A and B are shown apart, each in its own frame.
Chain A
């Protein structure tokens, strides 16, 4: 079994912290893992991506090969489109928050962006920000998106919850619970589709 995931967003949105949760869960399942990250200049408001590769066999490349990504997981819709050349166009999924993060003057119309995402064979575009806000956890967008993705992740949601516990445990029970709730709410969205 292999799972290749691209996590993307804009520098400072915290998109990459999701990768830590998934990799913890995968390691717990005894899988091999490689994760290539963006550091340095791009982090100043530029586009950031992380290639997360999980497999039950040893992994060679740190980068996901073109056309073989199983899952693009994004907290921003235009950023999800930027990595389409990596997507497995038949089996791969794009799961993204629907709200643009506009820090450039030439950001396209929101509806055009969402229409492009919907053109992909398998996609879920939804208002993860709203769900997070409704839960009283406005910073939980990442976890909501991860929850929606969990359906296609081939990793048990319980394992992800353990990983959240592990990652946020030091910050206290309330934070762990808020993030787990966000995860479950995101999963509910995917289950309804």
Chain B
């Protein structure tokens, strides 16, 4: 057997290659990005012809995943948790269509919001759509679950979600791999040609089939080995440990043995029989979930009239944030060791724009122009330029979701709040900004839109942007007047010129687009290094 040192993300990617993957579809998003990057960099994946280019956004990516499955092949979709919101439409409906070739959706959640705007728990999505969830507790399990997930998906003809969190995604450990476990599926047509035609008449039938699959899926969760009942002698408390929380539980019993019965949960739908056994045997139940209290709520019920259930809802565990060994130790009533306090002098060191970043020059020019209009008029978006919210710039007033800069500025402008300015990055623009721009053009709203073109998706670590080389053509195609698509170079020496251009476009009572264009420095350095390597 071959052993590799892999991040959780990389273990998933290697497993997919080994399990006969034909294509992966994704838009970058922390902490999911490294899955697709691994496949893009893998020689083996290239030799096997596995497609892996970045998609425009999560919705297009998931639909293409479904299309590849329709054609009979195994496909994978990956996103960060908020990407699930973008893909929600195909996601919910793909549970009803079911699959042909196996489909795995990887949802990488970010509890504690290390690099995100919320900590939504993707298990809610899968529970809502009634598809199975696999939730690995370590890198090896992540690897094994991809193999198993494809079998489960093809057996029940249903998409499977693997839900991971930041700690697993970005933590490295040795993983035993099984190369070439399965060849890629051949292209094959559906047995039922109506399976993917969700006309109401078909959808009603398909939905009943989805409901009928639940019993088998629950049985798989009971029988297939990822969920384990570990007996204990002290029945005063039973512990349900979901996903990664199992590790934090075990960490607290490194030197000793846990005397309480444990139900380790890594596969859903919840195996009710196993949960019931624990509930019947024990006086109280402690529920450990990395994320939101999904199953705590379900087991507790609305009226909470049964046994005492402890977890995030009753304050045994903090209501928000990721778990760690100390939080779990305290919930168990154990004595937890403590280090030293952080000295008061330690100042926070938040992330900031890099020295010489083109966005900094864009914000300097924009700030100078906006001064006469007062604060609160710049609607921004998701990317490195969100850091324009920090000193010394303090340049932006909103960051909500991918693409919301343009549409929120539009709504504000329509409320009479003018001038209204949107700031969006090139990659975010092609992700979710184009349709908002069309809304602006259709309504001819006075708005000035900055599309910051640094020629790369920078925040997530320089992935190829679908916008590169296409922005002017897209804007013109959508209907922005050619005279009001202005390209500027965000450099100190052009500051006065740039200020002038911004003034002119803000004065214009219609839709204008300003494109500050200069390459991301991190990307430029990376490229130079790669070119040097090639020369050698």
- Give A residues with C-beta under 8 Å from B: 10-12, 23, 27, 32-47, 51, 57, 59-63, 65-69, 78-79, 81-82, 84-89, 92, 103-108, 112-113, 116, 120
Given known A-B contacts A10-B349, A46-B351, A62-B171, A69 and B30 have beta carbons under 8 A apart: no
Minimum CB–CB distance for B393 against chain A, Å:
13
Q: Could you tell me the distance between the alpha carbons of A103 and B341 in the complex, rounded to whole angstroms?
A: 24
Given known A-B contacts A40-B31, A86-B339, A103 and B349 have beta carbons under 8 A apart: yes
Q: Could you tell me the distance between the alpha carbons of A177 and B172 in the complex, rounded to whole angstroms?
A: 28
Interface residue from B34, B172, B173, B351 paired with A44 (Cβ < 8 Å): B351
Given known A-B contacts A65-B324, A84-B341, A60 and B352 have beta carbons under 8 A apart: no
Given known A-B contacts A37-B170, A84-B343, A63 and B325 have beta carbons under 8 A apart: yes
Q: Which of B33, B249, B349, B459 has the most CB of A within 10 A?
A: B349
Contacts of B352 in A (CB 8 A): 44-46, 103
B172 x A41 contact (CB < 8 A): no
The chain B residue with its CB closest to the CB of A59 is B173
Nearest 10 CB-CB pairings of A with B: A40-B30, A40-B115, A67-B337, A46-B351, A60-B250, A61-B251, A65-B325, A62-B171, A84-B340, A44-B351
Q: Could you tell me the distance between the alpha carbons of A40 and B5 in the complex, rounded to whole angstroms?
A: 20
B325 x A42 contact (CB < 8 A): no
Q: Could you tell me the distance between the alpha carbons of A35 and B170 in the complex, rounded to whole angstroms?
A: 8
A87 x B340 contact (CB < 8 A): yes
Contacts of A46 in B (CB 8 A): 349-352
Contacts of A120 in B (CB 8 A): 340
Given known A-B contacts A60-B250, A65-B324, A78-B346, A41 and B339 have beta carbons under 8 A apart: no
B326 x A106 contact (CB < 8 A): no
The chain B residue with its CB closest to the CB of A72 is B339
How many Cβ-Cβ contacts under 8 Å join chain A to chain B? 163
Contacts of A41 in B (CB 8 A): 30, 114-115, 351, 459
**Is B474 close to A, CB under 8 A?**
no
Contacts of A81 in B (CB 8 A): 342-343, 345-346
Interface residue from B7, B345, B350 paired with A108 (Cβ < 8 Å): B345
The chain A residue with its CB closest to the CB of B349 is A47
B313-369: which residues lie under 8 A (CB-CB) from chain A?
324-326, 329, 336-343, 345-354
- Chain B interface size band reads 35 or more
B346 x A27 contact (CB < 8 A): no
Give a binary string over B4-24; 1 marks a CB under 8 Å from any A CB, 0 the rest.
010100000000000000000
A11 x B339 contact (CB < 8 A): no
B157-179: which residues lie under 8 A (CB-CB) from chain A?
167-168, 170-174
Q: Could you tell me the distance between the alpha carbons of A47 and B350 in the complex, rounded to whole angstroms?
A: 7
A107 x B339 contact (CB < 8 A): no
**Is B374 close to A, CB under 8 A?**
no
Minimum CB–CB distance for B161 against chain A, Å:
21
Given known A-B contacts A27-B5, A60-B248, A65-B325, A38 and B170 have beta carbons under 8 A apart: yes
Given known A-B contacts A39-B170, A45-B354, A46-B349, A67 and B247 have beta carbons under 8 A apart: no
**Is B469 close to A, CB under 8 A?**
no
Minimum CB–CB distance for B32 against chain A, Å:
10
30 A-B pairs (CB sep. < 8 Å): A23-B172, A34-B173, A37-B171, A39-B31, A39-B115, A44-B354, A45-B349, A45-B351, A47-B349, A57-B254, A60-B248, A61-B251, A61-B325, A62-B167, A62-B168, A63-B325, A65-B329, A66-B337, A78-B345, A78-B346, A78-B347, A81-B346, A85-B340, A86-B339, A89-B339, A103-B352, A104-B347, A104-B348, A108-B346, A113-B345
